């Protein structure tokens, strides 16, 4: 695939001019739901031109069902009680991307409006960033994802009952130039698509494990970084399936291999001066007071906000000792066994890595939690505990640093959190907590292979 030299328009006037110049009959539009799934459709140019100014109606069921399109029975924002009416969606021309394998068809993101704005994932992050701006900060962010790629199709995985799946490569082979060369066409397809869609990758390589890759997206402003991360997950899966493969961003798909991370890198700059708000050459680890309090807030609120980051039942299978995933709200300096890794450096590179998050995150909601808790820390001058040196799994930490061990426990903690309600609003907290409680209830209805093998004959 050779993407064209066309650049995506960044405002309504240029976008409309592009549609008319190319006489495009349709545009793609969409928004991200509570699970980070991209929901959208093709829209005729005539309807799009009217909707660009006034918005349009999008069935509110996309905010009232789970990732399997099953209707929640415990939320108020969407349901039979309001007839699954239309939710308003405003289109955001500044988010326009051109899809290279659809002849540079424009793709435009949207946000839910009106009563639905309170539960819109992108809207929640935008409000957190407005808070940062009111405090005098700009926020930069970047996500990096691990994902497994399989020589399977959506039909074959179901026919196999999700067992005995074939990865595109066997065994361990991290940072393999051999395997990257063998599958160069897929790598180049992914790199070129990301470049053409303005979500360029800083790095792409094999990780240790069968068929697992890691991609690091380029740092940008936090709202764009969330859009990029969510689109990257969607289009990686699209490209894999177009090749007859499948990519998964589950937190952990096999008990035999490490889970898949979705780490977030964050930094603040002073809005007036453009200088790093995290860097102070005269302080330990070059951490400014603002950075120290930011990390303190993240550490303090992590147990209460965990369901916003570890948002699936599967997320909690990754949070066990010895698998490169944290188990407590600990922080350290250049320590990859802790939930928060402070990375000292120059004013440009000083940042914190939010390592609790897995590849299954909704990027908008996870970034809202990671940034919002840090801002809360600055506002309240929250001092973090002592940094962990060495293996965090072997350290004894206060009970207040322990993380919830199940999605239900995490959802209950979120629902009871006053800081969460202050940061994200009652509407979001009540809705999101309810959706996570539903998710665990759905899991509790299932009879797993493990239960059958353990109990069927013996018990």
Q: What is the pLDDT of residues 406-447, one digit of tens each?
A: 999 999 999 999 999 999 999 999 999 999 999 999 999 999
Give 133-158 pLDDT, tens digit per residue.
999 999 999 999 999 999 999 999 99
Q: Does the structure show a pLDDT above 60 at 17? A: yes
Reference 325, options 361, 365, 302, 357; nearest CA is 357
Q: Are 201 and 216 within 8 A, CB to CB?
A: yes
Q: What is the pLDDT of residues 246-283, one digit of tens each?
A: 999 999 999 888 889 999 999 999 999 999 999 999 99
Task: Give residues with Cβ within 8 angstroms of 382, minimum separation 6.
Answer: 293, 296, 297, 299, 300, 376
- Residues whose CB is less than 8 angstroms from the CB of residue 122 and which lie 6 or more positions away in sequence, other chains included: 31, 32, 109, 111, 223, 226, 227, 364
Q: For residue 326, what pLDDT band results from cuts at 50, 70 and 90?
A: confident
Q: Report the C-alpha gap between 246 and 75 in whole angstroms.
A: 33
Please give the pLDDT value at position 258.
83
d(CA 277, CA 27): 40
Q: Tell me the pLDDT band of 8, cut-offs 50, 70 and 90.
A: very high
pLDDT score recorded for residue 324: 63
Share of the chain above pLDDT 70, in %: 98
| Lowest-pLDDT range of 345-349, 364-368, 373-377, 390-394 | 390-394
Task: Report pLDDT for 4.
Answer: 61
Fold of the domain built from segment(s) 129-452: Creatine Kinase; Chain A, domain 2 (3.30.590)
Instruction: Output the pLDDT for position 396.
Output: 78
The pTM (predicted TM-score) of the whole model is: 0.96
Tell me: pLDDT of 2 over 60: no
Q: What is the mean pLDDT of residues 40-69?
A: 96
In this structure, the strands spanning 56-59 and 26-32 are unpaired
CA-nearest of 278, 261, 271 to 343 is 278
**For range 31-46, the mean pLDDT:** 97
Q: Is the pLDDT of residue 47 over 80?
A: yes
β-pair type (201-206, 246-248): unpaired
At 395 the pLDDT is: 80
8 A C-beta contact, residue 28 and residue 107: yes
| Residue 48 pLDDT greater than 90, yes or no | yes
Per the CB < 8 A criterion, the answer to whether 179 and 206 are in contact is yes
Contact 98, 104 (CB under 8 A): yes
pLDDT at 365: 98
Question: What is the overall mean pLDDT for the chain?
Answer: 95
How is the chain split into domains, by residue range?
12-116, 129-452
Report the candidate in 118, 316, 138, 318 with the shortest Cα–Cα distance to residue 225.
138
The arithmetic mean of pLDDT across residues 318-338, rounded, is 85
Dist CA 30 CA 371 (whole Å):
25
pLDDT of 67 strictly over 50: yes
What angle, rounded to 10 degrees, do the helices at 426-444 and 407-415 form?
160
Beta-carbon contacts of residue 249 (< 8 Å; ≥ 6 apart): 145, 147, 233, 237, 260, 262, 359, 360
Helical residues (DSSP H) of 243-397, grouped into ranges: 289-305, 315-318, 363-380
pLDDT at residue 1, rounded to an integer: 43
Q: Is CATH 2.40.30.200 the right assignment for the domain spanning 12-116? A: no
Mean pLDDT across 17-44:
97
């Amino acid at each position: 695939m050779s993407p064209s030299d066309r650049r995506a328009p960044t405002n309504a006037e240029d976008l409309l001019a592009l549609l008319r110049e190319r006489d495009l009959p349709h545009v793609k539009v969409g928004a991200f739901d509570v699970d980070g799934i991209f929901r959208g459709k093709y829209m005729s140019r005539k309807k799009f031109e009217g909707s660009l100014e006034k918005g349009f109606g999008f069935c509110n069921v996309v905010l009232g069902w789970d990732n399997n399109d099953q209707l929640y029975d415990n939320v108020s924002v969407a349901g039979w009680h309001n007839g699954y009416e239309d939710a308003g969606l405003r289109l955001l021309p500044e988010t326009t991307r051109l899809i290279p394998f659809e002849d540079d068809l424009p793709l435009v993101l949207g946000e839910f409006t009106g009563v639905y704005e309170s539960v819109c994932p992108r809207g929640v992050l935008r409000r957190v960033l407005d808070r940062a701006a009111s405090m005098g900060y700009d926020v930069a962010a970047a996500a990096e994802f691990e994902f497994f790629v399989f020589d399977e199709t959506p039909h074959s995985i179901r026919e196999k009952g999700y067992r005995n799946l074939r990865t595109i490569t066997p065994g361990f082979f991290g940072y393999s130039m051999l395997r990257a060369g063998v599958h160069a066409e897929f790598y180049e397809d992914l790199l070129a698509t990301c470049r053409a869609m303005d979500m360029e990758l800083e790095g792409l390589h094999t990780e240790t494990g069968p068929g697992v890759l890691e991609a690091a997206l380029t740092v940008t402003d936090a709202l764009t970084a969330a859009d990029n991360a969510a689109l990257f997950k969607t289009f990686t899966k699209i490209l894999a399936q177009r090749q007859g493969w499948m990519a998964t961003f589950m937190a952990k798909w096999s008990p035999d291999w490490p889970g898949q991370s979705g780490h977030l890198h964050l930094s603040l700059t002073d809005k007036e001066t453009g200088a790093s708000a995290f860097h102070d050459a005269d302080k330990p680890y070059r951490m400014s007071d603002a950075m120290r309090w930011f990390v303190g807030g993240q550490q303090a609120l992590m147990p209460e906000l965990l369901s916003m980051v570890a948002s699936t039942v599967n997320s909690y299978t990754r949070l066990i000792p010895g698998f490169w995933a944290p188990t407590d709200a600990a922080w350290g300096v250049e320590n990859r066994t802790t939930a928060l890794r402070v990375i000292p450096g120059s004013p440009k590179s000083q940042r914190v890595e939010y390592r609790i998050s897995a590849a299954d995150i909704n990027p908008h909601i996870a970034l809202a939690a990671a940034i919002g808790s840090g801002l809360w820390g600055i506002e309240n001058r929250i001092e973090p505990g002592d940094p962990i040196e060495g293996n965090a799994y072997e350290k004894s930490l206060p009970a207040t640093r322990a993380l919830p061990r199940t999605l239900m426990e995490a959802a209950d903690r979120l629902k009871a959190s006053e800081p969460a309600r202050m940061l994200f609003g009652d509407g979001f907290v009540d809705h999101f907590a309810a959706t996570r409680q539903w998710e665990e209830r759905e899991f509790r209805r299932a009879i797993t292979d493990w239960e059958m093998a353990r109990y069927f004959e013996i018990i």
